[in-house]
Structure 1
Amino acid sequence: MSDVLTTQDLDSRLEKHRTELTGYCYRMLGSAFEADDAVQDTMVRAWRNFDKFEGRSSLRSWLYRIATNVCLDMLNAGNRRARPMDLTAATPVAQAALNSRPEITWLEPVPDGRVLPSTADPAETAVSRESVRLAFVAALQHLPPKQRAVLILREVLAWKASEVAELLETTIASVNSALQRARATIAEHGSQETDTANPLNEEQKKLLERYVAAFEGYDMTALTALLHEDATLSMPPYDLWLRGHDDIVGWMLGVGEVCRGSKLVPVVANGTPAFAHYHPSQSGDGGFEPWALMVIEIVEGRVSGITSFLDTKRWFPLFDLPEHLEKGDVAH
């Protein structure tokens, strides 16, 4: 082959592609943990079959072929992932109740560092961040697996139609047809663009500072001033979701009152601002315990969506967040 690789440097060559492959698999699967599993499976298959790699395509293309087949196998074996708003209409706060839906396979958050490789191209960075937003990944879940792969490869990773056709072992006409159908489905399910977090401009920074102050102070007047009128609040793994100022405030001053006195620690998830939400410790030590990973969506200078992922035993270790905060060690 023209690009000779030895077993001595194969591992390092494979590892160079881990982050971008994880991003691809996350968009395909909607799960950070499944994406990690898929990439690990891809690396193992590449090791085992490296002697069959003939070098007619690049190592990167070969790895994407393997990763695509891994993801397609996983998708054929399970249900698509969803957000609460993909399942039901918004619930009026007077009827709101926390109903867990264990049969639902929920869309999961992901740390940017696991799925967004560093690049010097600002346009490429922007596309990468846009394409891991919760709303976009949720919209991808409505696509059949192969259409999903085509859309990601063509429009996110900017592969040529001929390259995608070769990877999927199909024709250019089939790729173009699949892309057209995928675009129509994405448009139908309305993936609204939201502001990404790299870098935050001064207006966004001030908005988030005001959001933290309002939430930590539990000042609902200040909080609603930062929300769009049709802003949403959801709390996976519960199927409840709320829309609009009155219902969100009604919830937070009712069942959500337990969040009074919480602390927020900034992180970044799915290309957008996020917070680790710590609840006052029940031990009475004045510290704080993990409560939720709060992903914030911003549109035109206001918060349009709040998704609080409540399974902190999964999310806090994934984001390398501490299991406990002492009273004096919260800094923004």
Structure 2
Amino acid sequence: MSGISSAAGSAAGSAAEDAADLELARAGDAAAFTRLVAPLRGELHAHCYRMLGSGHDADDALQEALLRAWRGIGRFEGRAGRASLRAWLYTAATRTCLDAVEHRGRRALPVDLGPAAERVVLDAAPATEVAWLGPYPSRADPAERYQRREDVELAFVAALQHLPGNQRAALLLFEVLGFSAAEIADLLDTTAGSVNSALARARRQLARTAPDRDRQPAPDGPAARAAVAAYRSALERGDADALVALLSADATWSMPPLPHWYRGRAAVAAFARAVPFGRCPSWRTAAVEANGRPAVACWLGAAPDAPHTAWSVTVLGLDGDGLIAELVSFLGAEHFAAFGLPERY
């Protein structure tokens, strides 16, 4: 009984603190507003990422959404409770993301843009005219994982980019975040009928483009750990045969922002031998998690004893036998900061 009483007292104290901070925020206290928002920032950021497909865009959208919320805090008429504040902040975040979606094209992966390359392409130039999907780091602390891992899974987020903004928002708010159709209608300033129609269209599209969101093994499970360890070892030892042995028969490898990608063990093996093993003298690696999957951060050096600089974050997809069925290498040092990784190793 003492534990129940303590929990109830803590909840009551938190509600009272929220109510006090809400009144202070309405009176112009920015610190109070920051305290109100702090417990919700993580899940709001993940929502912006799912809407926009980019961690950098999610940063900008969340900043703009919170600025809009701060400017409008005096007009907030909801209760001081966390649920009411959460809905209000999701309104600001979703509308900000919809504005962003309206002004740029969808983000993509190389597999969305054309067929696999028939031969290894050397010295390929980045496709700068494409808005590329970006990786999203998993939370290091399980207590801070505001989303189920499948809700930021790479294939799911990529499939979302094929949906119009209103369908994307309705689907995420309903199926991922648990808002009702009536609540979503209020949030999007539309009708429940329109929301239900958007949900039906979104589900049909995702049934065609998204695989089962639960099919990937846990990124911290034994199969994932073994695949990551073997991949890292092969890359750091320069052992192309060992890496090829990890691949499934229908494996794919893509490297945004390079537009070319490869399908099938033979094609992926040819690329691996020609480029990461044939042209890259030395690798250092670290295990990370991205988009609910195991991933490997890679630093490239001119020699084993030379400085190594940030090169890519490679997200792995595994099949039911623990073989690597998909590699998506997000090239660029700009991805490393979000994972808390240095640019030099």
Q: Name the TM-score, length of structure 2 as normaliser.
A: 0.84
| Separation of aligned partners in 1, 2:159 and 2:142 | 19
In 2: Cα distance, 1:134 partner to 1:52 partner: 38
In structure 1, what is the equivalent of residue 88 of structure 2? 62
How large is the RMSD of aligned CA atoms in angstroms? 2.4
Moved more, 272-281 or 2-11: 2-11
8 Å Cα contact 1:22/1:115 also seen in 2: no
SS at match of 2:286: strand
Equivalent residue, structure 1, for 2:293: 272
How far is the alpha carbon of 1:285 from its aligned partner?
Answer: 4.3
Provide the secondary structure at the position in 2 that maps to 1:240: strand
Residue of 175, 179, 183 corresponding to 1:155:
175
Contact 2:309 2:344 in 1 (8 A): yes
SS in 1 for 2:88: helix
Task: Say which SS state the counterpart of residue 221 (structure 1) adopts.
Answer: helix
| Residues 19, 114 of structure 1: 8 Å contact kept | no
Give 1:33 shift: 0.9
Instruction: After TM superposition, give the deviation of residue 95 of structure 1 in Å.
Output: 5.7
- Cα distance change of structure 1 residues 117 and 151 upon mapping to structure 2, 3 Å threshold: farther
Query: What are the equivalent positions in structure 2 for 1:1-332 lying under 5 Å apart?
Result: 3=19, 5=22, 6-7=24-25, 8=29, 9-55=32-78, 58-94=84-120, 98-113=124-139, 118=144, 125=147, 128-193=148-213, 194-195=215-216, 197=218, 200-256=220-276, 257-281=278-302, 285-300=305-320, 301-312=322-333, 314-325=334-345
Name the amino acid aligned to 2:332.
Answer: D
Where 1:305 maps in the other structure, the secondary structure is strand
The AA in structure 2 aligned to 1:21 is L
Mapped contact 2:181–2:196 kept (Cα < 8 A): yes
2-structure distance, mates of 1:118, 1:197: 17
Q: Which amino acid aligns with 1:34?
A: D
Letter matched to residue 309 of structure 1: F
Q: What secondary structure sits across from 1:93 in the alignment? A: coil
8 Å CA contact 2:45, 2:59 repeated in 1: yes
Residue 282 of structure 2 aligns to a residue in which SS? coil
Give 2:290's aligned amino acid: A
Give the drift of 1:118. Answer: 2.2
* Helix, strand or coil at the partner of 2:211: coil
Partner of 2:6: none
Separation (CA, whole Å) in 2 of partners of 1:97 and 1:279 = 16
Assess if the C-alpha contact under 8 Å between 1:212 and 1:264 holds in 2.
yes
Maintained 8 Å contact 1:196/1:271: no
Larger Rg: 2
Contact 1:110 1:270 survives alignment (8 Å)? yes
| Distance of 1:14 and 1:273 partners within structure 2 | 30
TM-score of the aligned structures, taking structure 1 as reference length: 0.87
Query: Do 1:263 and 1:277's aligned partners in 2 also have CA atoms closer than 8 Å?
Result: yes
> What corresponds to 1:329 in structure 2?
none
Give the conservation status (yes or no) of the 8 Å contact 1:65–1:167.
yes
In structure 2, what is the Cα distance between the partners aligned to 1:146 and 1:22? 18
Shift of 1:260: 4.8
Structure 1 distance, partners of 2:313, 2:184, is: 36
User: Residue 278 of structure 1: SS of its match in structure 2?
Assistant: strand
Structure 1 Cα separation of the partners of residues 110 and 49 of structure 2: 19
In 1, are the aligned partners of 2:232 and 2:296 still within 8 Å (CA)? no
Measured in 2, the distance between the counterparts of 1:13 and 1:78 equals 32
Structure 1 letter corresponding to 2:116: A
Question: Could you tell which deviates more after superposition, 172-181 or 230-239?
Answer: 172-181
**Distance of aligned partners of 1:260 and 1:136 in 2 relative to their CA distance in 1, 3 Å threshold:** farther
Deviation, 1:11, is 1.6
Structure 2: 5+ residue stretches without partners: 1-15
Q: Quick one: distance in 1 between partners of 2:331 and 2:56?
A: 16
1:113 deviates by 3.1
Give the Cα separation in 2 of the matches to 1:40 and 1:32: 12
CA distance in 1, matches of 2:179, 2:141: 18
For residues 68 and 141 of structure 2, the distance between their equivalents in structure 1, rounded to whole angstroms, comes to 20
- Three-state SS of the structure 2 residue aligned to 1:204 is helix
Is contact 1:129–1:196 with CA below 8 Å preserved after alignment?
A: no
| Worse-superposed segment, 294-303 or 109-118 | 109-118
Structure 1 residue aligned with 2:13: none
